[in-house]
Structure 1
Amino acid sequence: MDIRNMKNITIVVPDCGVNLNSIGGAFEILRRANDFWIKTGNESRLEIHIAGFMRELKAHESYLAIHPIDIRTIQRTNLVIIPSLIDDFSKVVNTNRALIDWIYKQYQNGAEVASICSGAFLLAATGLLNGKSCSIHWNKAVEFKRMFPEIKVAEDKIITDENGIYTNGGAYSFLNLILYLVEKIFDRSVAVYCSKVFQIDMERTAQSHFTIFNIQKGHGDELIGKAQTYIEENIDAKISFENLASELAISRRSFDRRFIKATGNTPMEYLQRVKVEAAKKELEKGRKSIFEIMTDVGYADDKAFREVFRKITGLSPAEYRNKYNRSVA
């Protein structure tokens, strides 16, 4: 189906904690895009609904509320947008079976589906992401992988687009997803207009330089926890994982397997990420040179340090410092 022929958009309201900004923001940008399209001499292209199985959903300690229409009155739609969720994700899946089925049936009937941030948990529960890539907020990636190991998480991407299914990285990067959809629905000029009106950077494609490396220690594996502590306390040393495994009285193969299961990273990936996180903090302070920071985190090869830093953050050390160090003009 060509998304340019789309007429009906349904922003769904799950029965759970929801980030209302992702609903209101998506609605407002799409509405403004359609208004601009009309003002430039075209016929209205969109009919936008906010729909769910409940009459009211309160959020933010009941300061805010939304009143969706009954989703059962919508027989067919062209695009389903799933907002960002704020809740226990296993509970969300269990309490929204009817909505999950509705989304699945709409896709089977030709609709496209877009998830915003943690809305990907609801989308994944439909089975529509199986065998596809999915972007999600970096701090939800580990939990998502545990719940849906059959789905490939595109950790660095802000937006994925596969076979009429769209996902995005998270937080306010959903604005980039909505702009992306605006360009597909209308054209580049409408997307540029919305970019200027809402002051959204159209060229953001990666989320890696926003990532704060979260030291995963809630896994319950005491042995791997000891290994993590050792790595974090010796980032300037040349660590032999063969020797570390031996010190922990475990084979290297079992050590690697348990480490990946517990943290989501190989031991070497974990070490690199710890080093880069320490380097990021020093670059943000701006008190040391890049060479000094590189040495502090255990790198002797400037090229190797820059390559690992860029791989993890999407930026060079100099670019990161210029972007996040307040003392840089």
Structure 2
Amino acid sequence: MSKTHQTEIGLILYSGAQLSAVLGLTDLFGMANRIATGHGQNNAPILRISHWQAEAAAAAPHRVFDSSPGTLPVTPTALILPPTLGEPMTAETSAPLARWLRDQHAGGAILGSVCAGAFVLAATGRVDGRRITTHWTYAETLQQRFPKVRVDADQMLIDDGDILTAGGLMSWTDLGLRLVDRLLGPGVMLETARMLLVDPPGREQRYYSVFSPRLTHGDAAVLKLQHWLQATGAKDMALTTLAARAGLGERTLLRRFQKATGMTTTEYCQRLRVGRARELLQVGGTTIERVAWEVGYGDTGAFRKVFTRLVGLAPGEYRRRFGTGQACGKQDGTD
């Protein structure tokens, strides 16, 4: 096949990059290559995989691995920032790499990130005003460091054309398969997913994330209320009760609670209730109706609606996917 038909995907080895993700993506794209070749697609682009070492003091990364050695260098079609098992890179330490990535993007390269790789991506400035995702535990920090970026940690994968971002540590499979879908077609992508025994893209990070409320805001009255809500499971959401517990007027509470926690009292209480519901659904065969009542909902329909909106799965679907106990069949009712 002609060199001009090669499509290069570069994987960036920055400081602390997770090597298992780099090698896993290398294998995933290699498998897709073999499948595409086996399909006999005469003009199908063959993926060329390269690794790029990013040195802290260097102005630009350099290739340290090339799956097509001896061929003429080509401009990468896509560059991917893998996750890290350490702390995310700061804007200062990632500045040389961010400048290089910005130049590559200006030349037409797709930029992608997985998990904490989003911090380097955000440092390029190329995602200002755009929606990206990262691991849910990093979402608040990423938003604080880069306020112009729109962080949506509910999503496992966000495909924004020239920018691809994936959330959790293992979501490199989702990003890799999405690139295979785009570059080699859906047939090759699905067969690659089947061979590797992984789900095709379509999962959501909120299936797995745990509500982690903001507690370091410095508002003692709001913090006192948060502790009470946690202890009681937020079963009483009445504004009069919440204001009395905080020792504030209702309008003052609403304003200060939103400022301190980043959400309304209603949304905060719903997330606490749904968090408890997830625990109940994961163990044992309690009916959906009983779970709804246990977390404070007298109306099962309202519970299902709130749960599905926040988690992305109906209660029965969540139990079937994540439950560790024996389901009770008809007790679940309809979703």
The amino acid of 1:23's aligned partner reads: V
- Aligned match of 1:240: 238
- Which residue, out of 177, 191, 211, partners 2:189? 191
Aligned 8 A contact 2:234 2:269 in 1:
no
Identity %: 29
Taking a change above 3 Å as real, the CA distance of residues 154 and 6 of structure 1, as seen in their structure-2 partners, is farther
Aligned 8 A contact 2:288 2:300 in 1:
no
- Aligned match of 2:226: 228
Q: In the aligned structure 2, how far is the partner of 1:40 from the partner of 1:34?
A: 10
Per-residue Cα deviation, 1:224-247 (whole angstroms, up to 9, x for no partner): 221211212233633233553355
Matches within 5 A, 1:6-45: 7-15=7-15, 17-41=16-40, 42=42, 45=46
Aligned 8 A contact 1:6 1:185 in 2:
no
- Aligned match of 2:52: 51
Tell me how far 1:253 sits from its aligned partner. Answer: 4.7
Taking a change above 3 Å as real, the CA distance of residues 237 and 53 of structure 1, as seen in their structure-2 partners, is closer
- Which residue, out of 60, 66, 69, partners 2:64? 69
Tell me how far 1:287 sits from its aligned partner. Answer: 4.8
Matches within 5 A, 1:240-279: 240-245=238-243, 247-279=245-277
Tell me how far 1:320 sits from its aligned partner. Answer: 1.6
Taking a change above 3 Å as real, the CA distance of residues 19 and 222 of structure 1, as seen in their structure-2 partners, is farther
For the residue of structure 1 that corresponds to 2:91, the secondary structure is: helix
Q: In the aligned structure 1, how far is the partner of 2:256 from the partner of 2:37?
A: 58
Aligned 8 A contact 2:45 2:183 in 1:
no
Per-residue Cα deviation, 1:75-110 (whole angstroms, up to 9, x for no partner): 832111111123333x53221211000111000011
- Which residue, out of 92, 95, 99, partners 2:93? 95
Give the length in aligned residue pairs. 312
- Which residue, out of 192, 204, 214, partners 2:202? 204
Q: TM-score, normalised by structure 1?
A: 0.85
Q: TM-score, normalised by structure 2?
A: 0.84
Taking a change above 3 Å as real, the CA distance of residues 74 and 116 of structure 1, as seen in their structure-2 partners, is farther
Q: In the aligned structure 1, how far is the partner of 2:208 from the partner of 2:235?
A: 27
Aligned 8 A contact 2:157 2:201 in 1:
no
- Aligned match of 2:311: 313
Aligned 8 A contact 1:54 1:70 in 2:
no
Tell me how far 1:257 sits from its aligned partner. Answer: 4.2
After superposing the two structures, state which structure 1 stretch, 152-161 or 308-317, moved more.
152-161
Q: In the aligned structure 2, how far is the partner of 1:22 from the partner of 1:315?
A: 28
Taking a change above 3 Å as real, the CA distance of residues 112 and 253 of structure 1, as seen in their structure-2 partners, is farther
Q: Which one scores higher on RCO, CA 8 angstroms, separation ≥ 6?
A: 1
For the residue of structure 1 that corresponds to 2:119, the secondary structure is: helix
After superposing the two structures, state which structure 1 stretch, 272-281 or 33-42, moved more.
33-42
Q: In the aligned structure 1, how far is the partner of 2:178 from the partner of 2:192?
A: 11
For the residue of structure 2 that corresponds to 1:311, the secondary structure is: helix
- Aligned match of 2:59: none
After superposing the two structures, state which structure 1 stretch, 30-39 or 164-173, moved more.
30-39
Per-residue Cα deviation, 1:184-222 (whole angstroms, up to 9, x for no partner): 111122112211111111153322221222243244443
Q: In the aligned structure 2, how far is the partner of 1:313 from the partner of 1:204?
A: 14
Unaligned runs of 5+ in 2: 57-61, 67-71, 328-335
After superposing the two structures, state which structure 1 stretch, 132-141 or 121-130, moved more.
132-141
Tell whether 2:127 aligns with 1:129: yes
Aligned 8 A contact 2:11 2:22 in 1:
yes
- Aligned match of 2:301: 303
- Which residue, out of 150, 155, 158, partners 1:157? 155
- Aligned match of 1:140: 138
Q: In the aligned structure 2, how far is the partner of 1:252 from the partner of 1:76?
A: 59
The amino acid of 2:179's aligned partner reads: L
Aligned 8 A contact 2:221 2:247 in 1:
no
Q: In the aligned structure 2, how far is the partner of 1:20 from the partner of 1:233?
A: 41
Unaligned runs of 5+ in 1: 56-66
Aligned 8 A contact 1:8 1:46 in 2:
yes
Tell me how far 1:299 sits from its aligned partner. Answer: 0.7
After superposing the two structures, state which structure 1 stretch, 41-50 or 195-204, moved more.
41-50
Tell me how far 1:44 sits from its aligned partner. Answer: 5.9
Q: In the aligned structure 2, how far is the partner of 1:239 from the partner of 1:133?
A: 32
Taking a change above 3 Å as real, the CA distance of residues 29 and 53 of structure 1, as seen in their structure-2 partners, is same
Tell whether 2:77 aligns with 1:78: yes
